[in-house]
């Protein structure tokens, strides 16, 4: 580095720190001018050393490595001592030639504009030697325009970088020579170029030169073309060279016009037109082979004349010096790597120091600013914003201190000192503004208790526990800050402040922070009143009798256990993933586990029975608790075990089965559920067995000793004695069983009775009479899963599900029915207290599986219903009378096809597909008792209406009605005649008789004709209703009045305010009137309420 540059860098560094200290010096404590000068000088010196250290190290390394490399590789002294004189001379000459080239470079390094460039030459050796004579022996040659280096020569001692210096480009470019007459050859240069680039560690610009010997004219010519950096394919390169050849043709023509001897460009154009394919193939192959090393930038064609040598012509072929020094470094030398590493380290260190300085300055100014705000006059208990700001600043410092480990390790982090200062000021202010009123209120409360007379203190007043809590809070703020209970103390502070009428809105964040850090700062403790504390303890000790002492001991043990053992979500308790199978809304308190019982609670009970030094520090810190009798300990255990079982019951009853929406998801769910290795159910019962048998008594008997005693006893008895013994034992079997049961009950856990119904599923010894087993339940679940897999894998899933559901409804045994029945038996065996648990864990898996299958079956049956009945009936019956008010009438055989009670498709479908879902009671369909599939009420209603009409119409197996008609007197009508399908009913204004008729009647006379005579005109009039359903159409237009359940008055209008009247008496139902109800009946498209 030049001295001018180094001086400029030093000036910039010193100026930067001068400005920095001038503007920020006062904020970081540099108040005096002398302090600022010293700080400026130190910072400038440190920064300069950090910046120049890599340069100094690099210079020292280069000097040492240069001497070492010269000695190691080509030391002239060593060479002269070599036995082989010719070889040593040759090596000495090589070293001298490279040294001479290096000297040329050193002499011209200050004159870059006039310095000759270095170009490396590569190609066939004969061609290189021909046009660069002597380069092989002398390693390099000098021409008028440049230095030309043999790229394949022996490497200089220490590597190519020693010629110009480490980090500098070893040459400006590379020339690859080829013969002009061999442009049609596909010779590749990529291998030679790769070797050169890897050897020198740089990728340099390459000029591929095609050389042609001088012709008869003796003129020199250079034609060069720049190549693009990237070509998509060979064709694009050929297209570019073709364009270049066309351009040469124009240039060549102009050249010949100027001078008849300038024919090189025209000849080259013609040659390129013929050889461009091979040239482009060769160059594209080289570029692709070089890949990332590709730097072929030019292609040149040179004709050597008499006046100029090839090296100078090659230099001209580069066309412009701008392509020089465009090389790309491929690898770094060892000194360069060391320099880069040291530079990066220096830059990182400087950045860290600068950042730490800025951060420390910022933190110092912020902390001082917050503290100054606390000391301001406007700060009071009604405005705690400055205190909250200081608290936030402390939190920020805590986080940054934890993360700023590097600066702390370098000793350049002052946040701990700032934290100590901030904590001290925060504690003092909080004590004065917040805690002092609280301590005063607690003191007054204790003084109130101490002011009671002796007679009053003999018996505990109502609510005396409050005085205990007051003393406890007072001690936490004064003498016992190591006993702080954050939740308790925070609540007591807020309560006391509210009792004194102090607003606590701004203290919601201050009080918890103060309490949380109180135990770590002894200077935050308030001054205590020893006499007040001792008197309060004496009074409270009298009030708390022995029974209350036991209660306090139990509560203390449970509270301390809660602090040790956190609540356990179900997944953590089982150590299984229950997602997708169960949902548990509650957690198990950690104190109700075997681990808590054996690890803390049981030893604590035993210690309490002996008398514990872990006493109630609130009442007396110096005396031990008195031992508690066995009755009290047993009461502790009974209470604990009752709470233990209740907590487990709450957890188990909170478990809910998570139903799936797809059958494949249900299959996966059951697959996990029935797998003993993955099933959460197995893990749950394992946890129940582990945690439900605590505190059981162990009867240790050596098996070997028992077997030996048994053999000895049997050996002493004769065969007759053994028979007598067996007879005696048979007679006393009941007593033996009773004794065995008593022993079992004695050894059993106190929780075993509460968990007996669950434990019997995994331990047959709990209830030998029970045949319920969790393993058997899992087998049922596995069978159900296999059946679900079969259904899901069927080609027609809906049909397979329907067939299985119909088998179940028919009462056939199958996996679903068996599994559900066994689950219900387990549910009954578990009992009422765990009924929600049993339903969700044992029954719900089968219900949800059945729901999936039932849903598929319902959808399939609905589809069949629509395909086989709804769609055909709408096609055959819809749009026809009497289903609609159309002219076209439905045919009776078509009605019989669908509605016939015996052979109709409607009844056949219900009997075949809905067997077990719907049953027939009389002439009506009703749902079966406890139906597995729920049929829509609308469907049943409409089907029963159709069934009622069909039963009346097809009562004799054919579609017809038989009924009776009787004319009735009509005002203004003297006589009338009613002709129904050829059947006549006459009225002559006289007493009429019932006349039997049948409809439909004679099909050849189908239709209805009414004729009548009135009193006014006396002219005979008529009215007709055509078609086979003419009678039904006439009834539709008439007014029908029921007389009784089978008789109706029919009034058919025939004119203004006149109507022919007659009575109709049916033999079944409503007779022909029933067909009128078909108008309001629409066939439902769905059978079931849900799918």
Is-contact 498 441, C-beta < 8 A? no
Encoded tokens for 918: 């719907």
Sequential DSSP letters for 319-358: --GGGTT--EE----HHHHHHHHHHHHHHHHHHHHHHHHH
Span 214-258, pLDDT tens digits:
665 667 888 888 887 677 777 888 888 888 888 888 888 888 888
| Predicted pLDDT at 121 | 92
Sequential DSSP letters for 792-856: HHSSSHHHHHHHHHHHHHTT---HHHHHHHHHHHHHHHH-STTHHHHIIIIIHHHHHHHHHHHHH
Residues 92-110 have a mean pLDDT of: 80
What domain range includes position 732? Answer: 703-747
Span 503-513, pLDDT tens digits:
777 788 888 99
Q: In terms of domains, do 389 and 445 share one?
A: yes
**What is the pairing mode between strands 147-150 and 118-123?**
parallel
Residues 423-427 have a mean pLDDT of: 87
Whole-angstrom Cα distance, residue 778 to residue 676?
8
Is-contact 169 116, C-beta < 8 A? no
| Predicted pLDDT at 550 | 72
- The total of structural domains in the chain comes to 5
Answer yes or no: is pLDDT of 800 > 70: yes
Answer yes or no: is pLDDT of 406 > 70: no
Span 720-757, pLDDT tens digits:
555 665 666 565 555 545 544 544 444 456 787 888 88
60 inside domain: yes
| Predicted pLDDT at 653 | 94
Is-contact 1006 1030, C-beta < 8 A? yes
| Predicted pLDDT at 573 | 92
Q: Please state the length of the chain.
A: 1091
Of 964, 966, 967, which Cα lies nearest the Cα of 1060?
A: 967
| Predicted pLDDT at 744 | 46
Residues 586-606 have a mean pLDDT of: 91
Is-contact 66 165, C-beta < 8 A? no
Confidence of residue 63 (pLDDT cuts 50, 70, 90): low
Answer yes or no: is pLDDT of 84 > 60: no
Identify the residue with better confidence: 404 or 359: 359
Is-contact 865 810, C-beta < 8 A? no
| Predicted pLDDT at 66 | 46
Single residue among 70, 86, 105 that ends a domain in this structure: 70
Cα 700 to the chain's mean position, in Å?
A: 52
Encoded tokens for 891: 């045919």
Most confident of 42-51, 580-589, 659-668, 815-824: 580-589
Identify the residue with better confidence: 581 or 68: 581
566 inside domain: no
Single residue among 498, 528, 543 that ends a domain in this structure: 543
Name the percent of the chain lying above pLDDT 70: 80
Q: In terms of domains, do 934 and 1013 share one?
A: yes
Question: Is the whole-model pTM more than 0.85?
Answer: no
Residues 683-691 have a mean pLDDT of: 92
Is-contact 435 381, C-beta < 8 A? no
Is-contact 794 800, C-beta < 8 A? yes
Q: In terms of domains, do 358 and 210 share one?
A: no
Of 730, 550, 536, 559, which Cα lies nearest the Cα of 636?
A: 550
Q: In terms of domains, do 290 and 362 share one?
A: no
Residues 1029-1058 have a mean pLDDT of: 87
Answer yes or no: is pLDDT of 650 > 50: yes
Per-residue CA distances from 170 to 73, 116, 339 (Å): 19, 13, 19
| Predicted pLDDT at 402 | 63
Look at phi and psi of residue 567 and say left if phi exceeds 0, alpha if psi is from -120 to 50, else beta: beta
Q: Across all residues in the chain, what is the average pLDDT?
A: 79
135 inside domain: yes
Q: In terms of domains, do 400 and 294 share one?
A: no
662 inside domain: no
Most confident of 321-325, 381-385, 762-766, 886-890: 886-890
Kindly report which listed range (73-87, 124-138, 177-191, 782-796) carries the lowest average pLDDT score. Answer: 73-87
Is-contact 637 750, C-beta < 8 A? yes
1004 inside domain: yes
Answer yes or no: is pLDDT of 837 > 90: yes
Span 911-953, pLDDT tens digits:
888 888 888 888 888 888 866 788 888 888 888 888 888 888 8
Whole-angstrom Cα distance, residue 1086 to residue 940?
11
Identify the residue with better confidence: 998 or 1004: 998
**What is the pairing mode between strands 140-142 and 206-212?**
unpaired
DSSP at 329: E
Which helix (DSSP H) or strand (DSSP E) does residue 89 occupy?
Answer: helix 85-108
Q: In terms of domains, do 249 and 387 share one?
A: no
Q: In terms of domains, do 122 and 28 share one?
A: no
In degrees and rounded to multiples of 5, residue 122 shows phi and psi of: -145, 155
857 inside domain: no
Kindly report which listed range (187-196, 212-221, 963-972) carries the lowest average pLDDT score. Answer: 212-221
Which helix (DSSP H) or strand (DSSP E) does residue 962 occupy?
Answer: strand 961-968
Residues 429-435 have a mean pLDDT of: 86
Name the percent of the chain lying above pLDDT 90: 9
Confidence of residue 76 (pLDDT cuts 50, 70, 90): very low
| Predicted pLDDT at 683 | 93
| Predicted pLDDT at 30 | 65
Task: Give the three-state DSSP class for 310.
Answer: helix
DSSP at 1081: -
Contacts of 827 (CB under 8 A, 6+ apart): 835, 838, 839, 842, 843
Kindly report which listed range (52-56, 491-495, 512-516, 1076-1080) carries the lowest average pLDDT score. Answer: 52-56
Residue in this structure with the two tokens 């000895």, named with its chain if needed:
712
| Predicted pLDDT at 567 | 93
| Predicted pLDDT at 747 | 44
Q: In terms of domains, do 16 and 155 share one?
A: no
| Predicted pLDDT at 183 | 65
805 inside domain: no
852 inside domain: no
| Predicted pLDDT at 380 | 63
Identify the residue with better confidence: 1003 or 623: 1003
Q: In terms of domains, do 60 and 143 share one?
A: no
**What is the pairing mode between strands 1039-1042 and 1008-1014?**
unpaired
Answer yes or no: is pLDDT of 596 > 90: yes
Single residue among 695, 724, 747 that ends a domain in this structure: 747
Span 1001-1017, pLDDT tens digits:
887 888 889 888 887 76
Most confident of 33-47, 60-74, 971-985: 971-985
Residues 592-612 have a mean pLDDT of: 85
Q: In terms of domains, do 232 and 297 share one?
A: yes
Q: In terms of domains, do 269 and 134 share one?
A: yes
Residues 860-883 have a mean pLDDT of: 88
Whole-angstrom Cα distance, residue 215 to residue 306?
9
Q: In terms of domains, do 175 and 308 share one?
A: yes
Answer yes or no: is pLDDT of 623 > 50: no
């Amino acid at each position: 580095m030049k001295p001018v540059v180094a001086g400029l860098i030093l000036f910039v560094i010193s100026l930067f720190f001068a400005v920095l200290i001038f503007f920020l010096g006062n904020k970081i404590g540099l108040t005096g001018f002398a302090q600022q000068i010293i700080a400026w000088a130190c910072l400038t010196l440190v920064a300069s050393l950090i910046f120049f250290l890599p340069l100094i190290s690099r210079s020292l390394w280069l000097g040492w490595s240069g001497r070492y490399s010269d000695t190691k590789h080509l030391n002239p002294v060593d060479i002269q001592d070599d036995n082989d004189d010719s070889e040593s001379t040759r090596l000495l000459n090589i070293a001298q030639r490279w040294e001479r080239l290096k000297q040329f470079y050193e002499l011209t390094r200050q004159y870059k504009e006039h310095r000759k460039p270095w170009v490396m030459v590569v190609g066939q050796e004969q061609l290189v030697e021909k046009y660069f004579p002597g380069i092989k022996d002398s390693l390099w040659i000098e021409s008028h325009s440049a230095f030309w280096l043999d790229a394949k020569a022996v490497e200089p001692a220490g590597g190519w970088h020693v010629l110009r210096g480490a980090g500098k480009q070893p040459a400006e470019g590379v020339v690859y020579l080829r013969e002009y007459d061999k442009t049609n050859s596909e010779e590749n240069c990529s291998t030679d170029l790769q070797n050169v680039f890897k050897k020198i560690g740089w990728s340099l610009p390459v000029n591929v030169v095609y050389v042609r010997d001088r012709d008869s004219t003796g003129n020199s010519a250079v034609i060069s073309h720049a190549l693009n950096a990237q070509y998509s394919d060979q064709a694009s390169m050929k297209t570019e060279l073709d364009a270049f050849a066309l351009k040469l043709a124009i240039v060549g023509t102009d050249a010949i016009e100027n001078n008849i001897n300038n024919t090189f460009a025209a000849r080259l154009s013609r040659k390129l037109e013929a050889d461009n394919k091979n040239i482009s193939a060769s160059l594209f192959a080289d570029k692709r082979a070089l890949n990332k090393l590709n730097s072929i930038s030019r292609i040149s064609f040179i004709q050597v004349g008499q006046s100029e040598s090839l090296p100078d012509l090659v230099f001209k072929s580069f066309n412009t010096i701008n392509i020089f020094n465009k090389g790309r470094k491929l690898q770094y030398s060892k000194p360069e790597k060391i320099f880069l590493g040291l530079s990066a380290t220096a830059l990182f260190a400087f950045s860290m120091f600068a950042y730490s300085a800025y951060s420390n300055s910022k933190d110092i100014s912020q902390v001082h600013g917050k503290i100054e705000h606390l000391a301001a006059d406007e700060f009071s208990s009604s405005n705690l914003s400055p205190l909250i700001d200081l608290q936030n600043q402390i939190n920020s410092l805590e986080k940054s201190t934890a993360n700023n480990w590097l600066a702390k390790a370098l000793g350049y982090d002052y946040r701990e000192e700032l934290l100590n200062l901030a904590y001290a000021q925060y504690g003092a202010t909080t004590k004065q503004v917040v805690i002092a009123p609280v301590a005063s209120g607690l003191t007054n409360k204790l003084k109130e208790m101490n002011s009671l007379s002796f007679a009053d203190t003999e018996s505990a007043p109502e609510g005396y526990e409050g005085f205990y809590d007051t003393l406890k809070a007072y001690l936490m703020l004064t003498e016992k800050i190591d006993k702080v209970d954050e939740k308790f103390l925070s609540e007591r502070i807020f309560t006391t402040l509210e009792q004194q009428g102090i607003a606590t809105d701004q203290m919601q964040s201050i009080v918890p922070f103060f309490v949380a850090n109180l135990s770590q700062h002894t200077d935050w403790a308030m001054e205590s009143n020893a006499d007040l504390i001792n008197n309060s303890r004496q009074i409270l000790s009298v009030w708390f009798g022995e029974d209350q002492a036991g209660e306090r001991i139990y509560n203390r043990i449970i509270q301390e256990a809660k602090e040790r053992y956190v609540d356990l979500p179900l997944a953590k308790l089982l150590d299984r993933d229950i997602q997708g199978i169960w949902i548990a809304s509650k957690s198990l308190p950690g104190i109700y586990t075997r681990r808590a019982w054996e690890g803390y609670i049981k030893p604590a009970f035993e210690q309490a029975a002996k008398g514990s030094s872990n006493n109630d520090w609130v009442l007396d810190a110096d005396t031990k608790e008195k031992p508690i009798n066995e009755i009290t300990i047993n009461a502790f255990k009974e209470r604990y075990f009752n709470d233990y079982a209740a907590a487990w019951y709450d957890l188990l009853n909170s478990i809910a089965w998570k139903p799936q929406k797809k059958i494949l998801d249900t299959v996966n769910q059951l697959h996990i559920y029935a797998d003993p290795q993955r099933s959460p159910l197995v893990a749950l019962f394992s946890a129940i067995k582990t945690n439900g048998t605590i505190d059981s008594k162990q009867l240790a008997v050596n098996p070997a000793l028992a077997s030996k005693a048994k053999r000895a006893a049997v050996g002493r008895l004769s065969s007759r004695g053994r028979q007598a013994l067996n007879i005696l034992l048979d007679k006393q079997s009941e007593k033996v069983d009773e004794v065995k049961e008593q022993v079992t009950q004695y050894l059993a856990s106190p929780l075993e009775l509460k968990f007996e119904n669950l434990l019997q599923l995994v331990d047959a010894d709990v209830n030998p009479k029970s045949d319920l087993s969790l393993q058997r339940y899992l087998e049922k679940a596995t069978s159900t899963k296999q059946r679900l897999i079969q259904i899901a894998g069927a080609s027609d899933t809906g049909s397979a599900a329907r067939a299985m559901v119909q088998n179940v409804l028919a009462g056939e045994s199958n996996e679903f029915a068996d599994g559900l029945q066994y689950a219900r038996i387990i549910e009954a065996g578990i009992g009422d207290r765990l009924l929600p648990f049993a339903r969700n864990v044992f029954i719900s898996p089968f219900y949800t599986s059945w729901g999936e299958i039932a849903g598929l079956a319902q959808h399939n049956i609905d589809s069949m219903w629509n395909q086989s009945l709804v769609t055909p009936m709408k096609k055959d019956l819809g749009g026809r009378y009497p289903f609609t008010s159309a002219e076209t009438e439905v045919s009776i055989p078509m009605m019989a096809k669908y509605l016939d009670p015996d052979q109709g498709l409607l009844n056949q479908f219900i009997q075949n597909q809905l067997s077990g879902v719907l049953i027939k009671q009389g002439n009506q369909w009703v749902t079966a008792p406890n139906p597995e599939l729920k049929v829509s009420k609308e469907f049943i209603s409409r089907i029963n209406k159709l069934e009622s009409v069909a039963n009346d119409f097809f009562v004799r197996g054919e579609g017809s009605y038989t009924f009776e008609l009787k004319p009735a007197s009509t005002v203004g009508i003297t006589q009338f005649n009613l002709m129904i399908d050829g059947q006549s009913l006459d009225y002559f204004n006289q007493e009429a008789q019932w006349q039997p008729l049948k409809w439909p009647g004679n099909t050849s006379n189908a239709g209805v004709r009414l004729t009548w005579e009135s009193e006014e005109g006396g002219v005979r009039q008529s009215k007709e209703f055509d078609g086979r359903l003419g009678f039904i159409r006439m009834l539709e237009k008439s007014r029908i009045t029921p007389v009784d359940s089978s008789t109706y008055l029919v009034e058919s209008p025939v004119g203004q305010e006149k109507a022919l009247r007659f009575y109709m008496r049916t033999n079944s139902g409503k007779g022909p009137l029933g067909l009128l109800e078909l108008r309001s009946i629409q066939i439902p498209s769905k059978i079931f309420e849900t799918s």
